[in-house]
Amino acid sequence: MNEFYDSLVEPERASPRDVALTYARTLYADYERLLSTKAAATSPYYVGLSSEMGSFTHVTKRVVLVADTMLLSDHGIGAVHRLGEQREDLSSPAVPGIGGEQLPSTRIETYLYGLVTNDLVQLGQWLLDAEPLLRSGLVWYGPVFTKGRAGRRDDQSYSEPGPLPSFSDRSIDFVVEHGRAVDLAGTKPLASRVVRPVLEIDLPFIDGLSLADFAQVTREEFDSYRQYRDFMRSRLLELDGALEAVDSQVALERIALSIRDEVNAATAQMSSTSRSRALSRSGAVLGTTSAVLAAVRPEALQGALGFTATIAAGATGLWPTIQAFADTKPKRTQGKWHYVWVLQKKAAR
């Protein structure tokens, strides 16, 4: 990300639309490698599910305590913005053959590729405002790319590349593989055989600042957040065992109590930070958002994400879809639990 921001010239920074397009073009060439590298990392990932661009600032401010790194992806059916052409040279060299040398063949395939998002300007402005967070690795944006049908030029024929389709999304697989997510929901997850609510709590965050100022403060206070995130990571690892314990409810209550104690300590520390002279002059106040931590079976999460993202994100809702999955799948699901922080929409300002 440092390379991307360092490459931006002032005329580009003056145009949020150009910033969004440049970011997408920069990531496109190495996107698969980046996803593989991120997926193999030891840090948990939290992803804004069913998130529209207007929710990015809301999510960014509220999950800093519970996210080592946060991937935000623009789910839903959006406008397709052409980024350029990708060429693949599939030509073959001349090779020895029966009766003499075979002539080389020329074959070049060309694809149009683009970015799917509803608002390029809003995306570009978010990328500019959240620059300190992206530079430090606390947040990154995973573009939804789409690619058209290949056009071909070879020794005998030529065809134009096909138009760009409306939607293509790899981030759903990424969420399920890593097992950490954030959902913006108006309804709370209900307990079932594929969903186990762990705790309900108020998460503190520094409010009253623009996203740009919030990002700068967060980077400056990064070390003060690190201890809590390390603690939360260890609690999530303990949850796997607690959920499968004979007396799982007691084990879950014990972990939930320790999380509440740590959140209370973090709240006091953030309250002190927000009252500092420099921040109070900027209008900073301590805010809280209602959140529920839920454990979800991976099969249920994957099925629900595939449905809500391809129909229209948020139209049905993550939890009703997961509940429907639980009701229609008679076999016991397998695999480790995944964890979703549910941020209540009513807390948005």
Confidence of residue 55 (pLDDT cuts 50, 70, 90): confident
pLDDT at residue 184 is higher than 80 = no
pLDDT at res. 163: 72
The Cβ of residue 223 has, within 10 Å, a number of other Cβ atoms equal to 7
For residue range 224-247, list pLDDT tens digits in order: 667 777 777 777 777 777 777 767
pLDDT at residue 75 is higher than 70 = no
pLDDT at res. 167: 57
pLDDT at residue 343 is higher than 90 = no
> Are 59 and 51 within 8 A, CB to CB?
yes
Facing residues of 69 across strands? 45
Mean pLDDT value of segment 63-78: 72
Is 165 or 128 the better-scoring residue by pLDDT? 128
Question: Which pTM was predicted?
Answer: 0.77
pLDDT at res. 49: 60
**The tokens of 242 are what?**
């607690």
Mean pLDDT over each residue of the chain, to the nearest integer: 76
Mean pLDDT value of segment 67-72: 76
Highest mean pLDDT range out of 119-123, 187-191, 216-220, 343-347?
Answer: 119-123
Is 265 or 47 the better-scoring residue by pLDDT? 265
φ and ψ at 247, to 5 degrees? -105, 70
The Cβ of residue 259 has, within 10 Å, a number of other Cβ atoms equal to 20
For residue range 121-157, list pLDDT tens digits in order: 999 999 999 998 888 888 888 888 888 887 777 766 7
φ and ψ at 80, to 5 degrees? -100, 125
End-to-end C-alpha distance for the chain, whole angstroms: 30
Is 49 or 322 the better-scoring residue by pLDDT? 322
Cα–Cα separations (whole angstroms), residue 84 to 30, 81, 103, 178: 15, 9, 32, 31
pLDDT at residue 101 is higher than 80 = no
> What is the DSSP code (8-state) at residue 103?
P
Amino acid at 68: D
159 CB-near residues (< 8 Å, 6+ apart): 151, 152, 153
